[in-house]
Structure 1
Amino acid sequence: MSISETKKLPELGEIVIVTVKEVTGHGAYVTLDEYDNLTAFLHISEIATGWIRNIERYVKAKQKTVLKVIRVNPIRSEVDLSLKQVTGEEKKSKVMEVKKDEKGANFMDVIKTNLGYDQNGIREIEEKISQKYDFIYDAFEAVAIKGTEVLSSLDLRPEVIEAIELESKKIQIPHIEVRAVLDITVRKGDGIDIIKNILGSVDGSKNNSKIDITYIGAPKYRITVTSENFKIAEKALNQAIEKIKTNIEKNSGTFKFSREESKKTHTNI
């Protein structure tokens, strides 16, 4: 979504962010944040099921909330809304969408200032990004995770790509960390060196995952895999464990492992 885009009227069934303007005995007047603060109405019958004693228990003046469009009159520019028809998932998704728009707008404001672009120049960048991404913020997040090569098809100037990369470093990317404890022995004169070489062959960054191996105390080692989601991390851990096991057993060693609890972390890429 282009952050410079302003639409005239919402569509029937659309989920919108509003600011409550005035609460009355029959409902609430609100302004549509994404539609140039167009005034719309939330009737008391669409606030909650059952009898409502106090409307302000559900909506208050100056409050921002998520509502659903249930009627649009394009001739008179009238919009009616519902609170009770909004599901928890719809609310969560809309709030996330708005946050993305705000963060994307903030990033573009910084780029506009740093590069000395006018609004037309910024709009041109947004249009190119929108060819590939639904939200401007998504481009920055993609760069934070995978690098500037994700922008190679967008025909952006080098200084713009550099500015996007700089701003993307501010993004905290959630990562999943999965771990296991390895119990390894190789009863040979150079057994320690064999173990070090085998563990070193899987230690490092591979396939969007980072693998760290630390020494706990003979004969135990901890392997930690960090990745952007559990599926990728789990796959990398299983592949690493299988490779270590195979090579240890080739050297007449013994191998056992036990899993540890996974956890979610945040990383500035």
Structure 2
Amino acid sequence: MAETKTAAARGYDWPDEGELVVCTVTNVKNFGAFVTLDEYEAKEGFIHIAEVSSGWIKYIRDYVREGQKVVCKVLKVDKDKGHIDLSLKAVNEHQRREKIQEWKNEQKAENLLGIVAQRLGKTVDECWQEFGYDILDSFGTLYRAFEESVMDEDALEGEGFKGPWVKTFIEVAKENIIPPHVTIDGYVEATDFCPEGAIHIKEALAKAAMESDGLSVKVQYIGAPRYRVVVRAPDYKTAEEEIQKAAARVIKALTAKGGEAKFHRKD
């Protein structure tokens, strides 16, 4: 994932050529569109009509309109003239969604820093000076620091940060950030031909299910004798470990009752 710069916080006045930027369309003309760069103190940029779309454009307003948020690639920056040339067509849909999400995340993170500042009895600027800039240097983005603090309470200290603000930072992170997660699945083939086999299978499958902070294991019926095991975890390594543990619990419980069970990672 491309790193998002908190431009205003870092003191960046101009974007780099090749950088993706979030813009607001302010004025649409027949020859192109003027925009402001949201991350650079509303500096003005221009998208020539040839950079709006790869195809032929009959009506430019079919592609851009005033007030619209767009993601553009910076083609050229002329600081002396104050010109920023941008391209809309050079950004694909995946890049657009990713950039918008990063931008939203960083906006949220800056709001959370405001909460941290309030609880510490400081101004936001004082927080930036005391630890904010250093957090950007260590984590790349402010949001990533909040996110990692939720997943690992020692993340900040692991980067060498100390002080009374650390505890408050973690508290605010936990109250407002939902940690990222991954989902994987596999399936168990469970059979038990004794008179109470159905009960044994149900009890064994119940051994797989669990839920704790950031981790869940659920069992879904596919069609006898197959049952899907779905694991939701913070990362793939943890998810793989937990799905194997869950399957092992089912196999152990069912074989103890005289039944059989086999686990398959993929259907």
2:72 touches 2:87 (CA, 8 Å); kept in 1? Answer: yes
Shift of 1:222: 8.8
Q: 2:16 aligns with which of 11, 31, 42?
A: 11
Q: How large is the Cα RMSD of the aligned pairs?
A: 3.9
- Other-structure match for 2:54: 49
What is the alpha-carbon distance in structure 1 between the residues aligned to residue 27 and residue 39 of structure 2?
18
Shift of 1:211: 4.8
Higher relative contact order (CA 8 A, sep 6+): 1
Q: What secondary structure does 1:173 align onto?
A: coil
What is the alpha-carbon distance in structure 2 between the residues aligned to residue 119 and residue 150 of structure 1?
22
What is the alpha-carbon distance in structure 1 between the residues aligned to residue 231 and residue 93 of structure 2?
33
Q: What secondary structure does 1:113 align onto?
A: helix
What is the alpha-carbon distance in structure 1 between the residues aligned to residue 133 and residue 219 of structure 2?
44
1:137-167 Cα offsets, whole Å, 9 max, x none, are 11111122x2311111332323432343233
Identical-pair percentage: 28
1:67 touches 1:83 (CA, 8 Å); kept in 2? Answer: yes
AA aligned to 2:39 is E
Structure 1 residues 204, 80: closer, same or farther in 2, change over 3 A?
same
| Structure 2 residue 105 is matched with structure 1 residue 100 | yes
1:12 touches 1:70 (CA, 8 Å); kept in 2? Answer: yes
- Other-structure match for 1:266: none
| Structure 2 residue 116 is matched with structure 1 residue 111 | yes
AA aligned to 1:39 is E
AA aligned to 1:241 is A
AA aligned to 1:30 is V
Structure 1 residues 260, 71: closer, same or farther in 2, change over 3 A?
closer
- Other-structure match for 2:163: 157
Q: How many residue pairs are counted as aligned between the two chains?
A: 250
Q: What secondary structure does 1:35 align onto?
A: coil
1:189-220 Cα offsets, whole Å, 9 max, x none, are xxx9xx989x87x87679x7445789xxxxx9
Q: What secondary structure does 2:84 align onto?
A: strand
| Structure 2 residue 161 is matched with structure 1 residue 167 | no
What is the TM-score when the length of structure 1 is the normalising length? Answer: 0.74
AA aligned to 2:154 is E
1:184 touches 1:253 (CA, 8 Å); kept in 2? Answer: no
Shift of 1:25: 1.8
Alignment gaps of 5+ in structure 2: 221-225
Shift of 1:121: 2.5
| More deviation, 33-42/166-175 | 166-175
- Other-structure match for 2:246: 240
- Other-structure match for 1:253: 258
Shift of 1:168: 2.5
2:251 touches 2:262 (CA, 8 Å); kept in 1? Answer: no
Q: 1:23 aligns with which of 25, 28, 39?
A: 28
| More deviation, 224-233/6-15 | 224-233
What is the alpha-carbon distance in structure 1 between the residues aligned to residue 154 and residue 191 of structure 2?
40
1:31 touches 1:39 (CA, 8 Å); kept in 2? Answer: yes
1:6 touches 1:36 (CA, 8 Å); kept in 2? Answer: no
- Other-structure match for 1:140: 146
Q: Equivalences for 1:171-250 in 2 at 5 Å?
A: 171-175=177-181, 176=183, 178=185, 183=190, 209-211=215-217, 225-229=231-235, 232-242=238-248, 244-245=250-251, 249=255
Structure 1 residues 156, 254: closer, same or farther in 2, change over 3 A?
same
Q: What secondary structure does 1:22 align onto?
A: strand
What is the alpha-carbon distance in structure 2 between the residues aligned to residue 76 and residue 136 of structure 1?
32
Q: What secondary structure does 1:34 align onto?
A: coil
- Other-structure match for 1:89: 94
- Other-structure match for 2:223: none
Larger relative strand fraction? 1
Alignment gaps of 5+ in structure 1: 215-219, 263-269
